[in-house]
């Protein structure tokens, strides 16, 4: 990215949505991006793709150097298909493969490695293109897009997030124990919040929203109205 391009990118508005897994970030981010006609960054998928590639290559999840190389060389394509995002890795569709619990747990471990985060940082920032970007992740507002004009931190109880994840897996034809999912979510939360690099915390200027008892349309509407109030869009 040239200095001129980087300068112009800063003027492109970003809605940074952070929070733990299962809080609704992915679905809500996609719906808002579609509603506004903005670009979408699912940053978590980049870490999941790195983890999946490592697992397939037999690379240990503590081999920081080799994992960073994998992150730098990811051959990834994101494309829309009938309102859903299709993700390809090295020419093969892996949309469901990266959503398994094994890959999710591995991605959490990979994301704690400084070299991997550095490798993926500029790749994430390159998504910032006109007319705007909805960035979904865990450190969008605290690290990647610190100048985002609107930062949101979505939360929900661990029990509710486990329930949502269980339903998501069943709809995808996969099975999992609800109690096991709850334990994995609680362990991942602790690991993500306590890691030394880019821990999962709200940005100081983030708006925190608990989605435990809110429907997806209600959250989308609330965030859209916040964007309108900020003068970032006229869509309502």
Annotated binding site: 19-27
- The CA distance from 138 to 28, in Å, is 14
- The CA distance from 233 to 224, in Å, is 8
Sign of the dihedral defined by the CA atoms of residues 126, 97, 67, 162, in that order? positive
Residues within the annotated binding site for ATP? 19-27
Q: Taking CA 37 as the corner, what is the angle to CA 32 and CA 43, rounded to the nearest 5 degrees?
A: 60
| Sheet arrangement for strand 92-93 | 76-81, 84-89, 92-93
**Listed residue (141, 122, 116, 126) closest to 197, CA to CA:** 116
Q: Which residues pair with 149 in a beta bridge?
A: none
CB 25 within 8 A of CB 136: yes
Conformation bin of residue 156: beta by default, left when phi > 0, alpha when psi is -120 to 50: beta
All residues at 6 or more sequence positions from 220 whose CB lies less than 8 Å from its CB, including other chains: 28, 31, 32, 35
Determine the length of the chain: 236
């Amino acid at each position: 990215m040239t200095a001129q391009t980087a300068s112009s990118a800063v003027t492109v508005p970003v809605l940074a949505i952070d929070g733990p897994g299962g809080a609704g970030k992915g679905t809500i981010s996609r719906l808002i991006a579609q509603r506004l006609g903005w670009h979408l960054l699912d940053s978590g998928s980049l870490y999941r793709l790195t983890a999946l590639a490592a697992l397939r290559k037999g690379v240990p999840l503590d081999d920081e150097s080799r994992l960073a190389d994998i992150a730098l060389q990811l051959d990834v394509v994101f494309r829309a298909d009938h309102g859903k995002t299709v993700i390809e890795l090295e020419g093969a569709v892996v949309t469901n493969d990266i959503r398994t619990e094994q890959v999710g747990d591995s991605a959490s471990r990979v994301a704690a490695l400084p070299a991997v985060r550095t490798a993926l940082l500029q790749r994430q920032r390159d998504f910032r293109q006109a007319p705007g970007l909805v960035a979904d992740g865990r450190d969008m507002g605290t690290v990647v897009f610190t100048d985002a004009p609107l930062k949101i931190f979505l939360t929900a109880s661990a029990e509710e997030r486990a329930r949502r994840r269980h339903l998501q897996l069943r709809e995808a034809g996969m099975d999992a124990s609800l109690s096991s999912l709850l334990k994995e979510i609680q362990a991942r939360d602790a690991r993500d919040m306590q890691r030394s690099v880019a821990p999962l915390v709200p940005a100081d200027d983030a708006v925190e929203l608990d989605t435990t008892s809110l429907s997806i349309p209600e959250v989308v509407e609330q965030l859209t109205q916040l964007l309108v109030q900020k003068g970032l869009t006229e869509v309502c």
